[in-house]
Structure 1
Amino acid sequence: MSKTRKLGSLAIASLLPCLAGRAEAETLKAHYALSLMGISIGSAYASGVVDRTYRIDISMRTTGLANLVNNTKGAATASGGLSVAGPSPSAYANTTSNEEEVRTVRMSLASNAVRNVEVKPEPWDAEMRVPVLEPNKKRVVDPVSALIMSVPQGQELTGPAACNRTISVFDGVTRFDIALSFAGEHTANTPGYSGPVAICSARYTPIAGHRPDSKSTRYMAENRDMNVWLAPLPEARVVVPIHIDVKTGAGDLVIEASDFQIGAKRADSRR
């Protein structure tokens, strides 16, 4: 995996709440543009339904000049239940492909603990990585579920409560923490959404599954130039990323929503 791809994945990886009694589920459909140093390198699409349960699907691919270096495509999905504490994933799957290989990850979870994980093929440098122990697989979410952040009742959706948290993530290979802290409020103006967003500064901490000699991992752990803007889904009282910017060794990586549509879908009355 190239340094830029890994940093981008961490950023994205760096990168939805109490819903009882609601009659409608909230939906999200968003397109994101990926750029490096102001040059378009790809796009991503996210769609999901958030109710007492959730399902989020994400796809991405590199385009333009990035394809000259490494033509990369990926798709991921996650589903689970929601509570006051946030998402409790039950299933996660991810497939990424480039000119060198296709890798799939499948993971089942319960009570925010990993029950089973399958990675094909295993990383070629698995023996060089910090071992992932069983305690590392508890009190975690997958990278897609990590994008769903609940805000307690009575707290502003774009205030400090939107940001101030540490998210423990396991992607099937690596275990890391993303710490968010409130840095202010901004007004976003994106097709589909115009309104306030919370600005969070982000810090990345590797826990396990990484190579201790990795320069890119060390760079990300020391990186203080990572920010995410969180837009509210008001009915669900959750926030999700609408903008991510990360300073990388190759330049500034920006993931910006070019279309951000929030809607409502009638929940199944039989539930």
Structure 2
Amino acid sequence: MLAIFGAGLLPVVAPAPSFGQGGRLDAKYEATLAGIPVGKGAWTIDIGDDQYSASAYGGTSGLLKTFAGGSGTGAAVGRVVNGALVATNYVASTTTSKKSESIHITLANGTVKEFGIDPQPPVDADRIPVTDAQKRGVFDPMTATMLRVPGTGDLMAPDSCRTGAAIFDGRMRYELKLDFKRMTTVKADKGYSGPAMVCAIYFSPVAGYIPDRPVIKYLSAQRNMEITFAPLAGTRILVPFRMVIPTPLGTAMLEATEFMTQAAPPHVAKTQ
């Protein structure tokens, strides 16, 4: 983050106007498993001078919908502070033929202030509890997927991938670590066509999970998961264009079919 300095000069030097950056993304995605379509979704992101919002929805499709229909929504809102996205609220809901569930999280400067799951899940003695200390310095799941690149250099330099995030999703606290793999080009059916950056992604559970669950063990051991990022115009934010996760049933892939991104008009801040 940039420090504020030179306060002693303010009475002498008039403050210069500041120009904010911002942009919008309207994207649609398709999920496949072993090449077979299994789901569709959409994601909208709005980033302004001092606040942002993101919302997504998705559901099963094709053959999978016949056997296990389901849908979900998610949304995050927060502030833009020196270019960084600082979440204040996150909500998510899922609905299947068997049950519905909603999650909400309230945050302040990366610290979870309040959260809940409705209906409240039963207590499981095997679940590792999440401590108060583990609820500090975290992102919500949606904000964490938007990769902010600080500075003024090349947005898609390899170092942009060499980062990580601590995430709390209302139930589990985990770490996602990224590392650079390669540069590539992508082309949506509608919208963005151009350079993109492929990052390896590694999952490490911290708390709020049951250690013996096969899915936790599987994801923790994976070394072939990757995510491809494309730029959100007008910002220093990279957004997932494609995600690839090997599974015992074949490769799972989430890929943008539409990726419409545009910069917001420059905004001149008031000087008085």
On whether the aligned pair clears a TM of 0.5, the verdict is: yes
Which of 105, 112, 115 lines up with 1:107 in the alignment? 105
Query: Matched residue of 2:62: which SS?
Result: coil
Mapping of residues 211-222 of structure 1, within 5 Å: 211-222=210-221
Query: Contact 2:165/2:175 (CA < 8 Å) preserved in 1?
Result: yes
> Which consecutive residues of structure 2, in runs of 5 or more, have no partner in the other structure?
3-16
**Does 2:23 align with 1:29?**
no
One-letter code of the match for 1:227? E
Mapping of residues 164-175 of structure 1, within 5 Å: 164-175=162-173
Query: Contact 1:155/1:161 (CA < 8 Å) preserved in 2?
Result: no
Displacement, 1:24? 5.3
Mapping of residues 145-224 of structure 1, within 5 Å: 145-190=143-188, 191-224=190-223
Counterpart in 2 of 1:6?
none
Identity %: 26
Aligned residues: 254
Query: Contact 1:174/1:209 (CA < 8 Å) preserved in 2?
Result: yes
Counterpart in 1 of 2:129?
131
One-letter code of the match for 2:153? Q
One-letter code of the match for 1:79? V
Instruction: Report the structure number with the largest CA radius of gyration.
Output: 2
Query: Contact 2:165/2:177 (CA < 8 Å) preserved in 1?
Result: yes
Give the TM-score normalised by the residue count of structure 1. Answer: 0.88
Counterpart in 1 of 2:236?
237
For residues 17-47 of structure 1, give each alpha carbon's deviation from its aligned partner in whole angstroms, at most 9, with x where no partner exists.
Answer: 99x9335530000000000000000011000
Query: Matched residue of 2:141: which SS?
Result: coil
Q: Distance in 2 between matches of 1:227 and 1:136?
A: 26
Q: Distance in 2 between matches of 1:78 and 1:267?
A: 24
> Which consecutive residues of structure 1, in runs of 5 or more, have no partner in the other structure?
1-16
- Which range moves more in the overlay, 173-182 or 256-265? 256-265
Query: Contact 2:234/2:262 (CA < 8 Å) preserved in 1?
Result: no
Counterpart in 1 of 2:80?
82
For residues 166-185 of structure 1, give each alpha carbon's deviation from its aligned partner in whole angstroms, at most 9, with x where no partner exists.
Answer: 11110000111110001111
Q: Distance in 1 between matches of 2:259 and 2:156?
A: 17
One-letter code of the match for 2:27? A
Q: Distance in 1 between matches of 2:160 and 2:238?
A: 7
CA 1:24–1:204: 2 relative to 1, 3 Å? closer
Displacement, 1:269? 6.9
